[in-house]
Amino acid sequence: MVSRNAFLCLYIDRYPYGFDSLAPLLVTAPVSGHLQASVGAVGLAFMALRLNRPDLTPLANRQYLVAIQGVRQAIGISQQLASNGTHKIVGDDTLQSVLLLDLYEKLTMHHQLPGLPGSWLSHLQGALGVVQSRPSTDFRNLTTCQLAGRTVIALTISCGAAGVPIPEALQEVRQDLDSYIRNSKWTFISLLMTIVNLRDRMRSNLLASDEILTQVYELQDQLALAESKVPRSWRPHRVNSHQKLIFDHYYDVYPSHYATQVFNAFRILRLEMCSIIRNLHPSSSAGETINQVTREICGAVPQFILPEARPENTMPFSPLQMLECRGILTALYAAGQITTDLYLREWILECLAYMAENGIKTAQDVGHTLAFTPEVDYWTVFAMVGSCGITA
């Protein structure tokens, strides 16, 4: 019960922006049903990760198996009725359970690298099948729309981490949802789909250098334009300071960690485009963009680690601060990986060490990777630190 409450109060209520539908669905969910079991399993996995308590894993696994059995039964009933000529859609509560089971996988499997387990995509592929089985008019329902949107976002990110192309069915669902979802993160996901597929074609040597450059320059412009259209209310205010853990004597305070993540998501992709341009066209002006974007990433860090940066900050770090810090590790790695500014890179390593000293063990892992194997792809780091499970 403690793990469940911690998960609901800290993670669901205060951290992500993709589980708005969970609370109302829980109100009507049977106590012994699959949705309650799914929340219980994820709650235990969340506590095991947050408190470094591997002893909780067996208990979490038992809850997970109960939840899976319940979900399979619910889907099986719908399929049986359909075969008898009675149309019964898979309910929103079942789709929510499948998304929670995927979250469970991401929280418990993130350390299994290199190579991701087969179940990395399986739950989300199942969720996509559920969404596809619903008529697009169902998206007019707010809960159904939120769950479908969460499915698209989670599966797109998981494809990126797994290094596989975006399924055509996923792109079709995203297009169906375009009429119902309009925000900066949704724009980002559309661009991310294009980039994930571009990476796949590049790995398969399907594109000539000039074709790659043409697409990358176009994507770079689209990313910059989309970032410039992020609502003004999401933008940070700047604070001047000369403390050690501040780069260039200032830092930026964003209205929420969610806004920080959205901006950093655009920045990571812009840095990736710059890296490709720099490799294929060394005389380009990519270095100027790299210099600007890496500093923007560094400017977003102190708000989470300095006690005076925000009223809610504490020493030692609060549980929410620790989640927020984990949420910026991939961006810090991407900045440190691409920069040629040795002072900036050293500052990033110092920040990661400071986070590690204050209880964020994964920051030490990221720092070690950046220092000794900086050629590691940022998606590998993203999966390694569990970001698929803690992305807001």
pLDDT at 294: 99
From residue 58, alpha-carbon distances to 40, 108, 275 in Å are 13, 11, 42
Among 347, 193, 204, residue whose Cα is nearest residue 269: 193
From residue 315, alpha-carbon distances to 9, 245, 287, 304, 319 in Å are 21, 15, 37, 11, 11
Among 27, 101, 106, residue whose Cα is nearest residue 66: 101
Among 247, 220, 210, 216, residue whose Cα is nearest residue 332: 247
- 10-residue mean pLDDT profile of the chain (392 residues): values are 68 69 91 94 86 86 95 85 68 95 85 58 93 92 95 95 95 97 96 98 96 98 97 97 93 96 97 97 91 98 97 94 94 98 98 96 97 97 82 62
CB-based contacts of 343: which residues, under 8 Å, 6+ apart? none
237 phi/psi in degrees, rounded to 5 = -110, 145
pLDDT at 106: 87
DSSP E strand boundaries for the chain = 237-240, 250-253
pLDDT at 339: 98
pLDDT at 118: 61
Contacts 24+ apart (CB under 8 A), 314-318: 315/358, 316/358, 316/359, 317/358, 317/359, 317/360
pLDDT at 62: 94
CB-based contacts of 44: which residues, under 8 Å, 6+ apart? 3, 4, 56, 57, 59, 60, 63
Class of residue 138 by CB neighbours under 10 A (exposed 0-12, middle 13-18, buried 19+): middle
From residue 266, alpha-carbon distances to 49, 184, 221 in Å are 27, 10, 12
Q: Radius of gyration over alpha carbons of the chain, in Å?
A: 21
**Residue type, position 383, single letter:** A
pLDDT at 378: 96
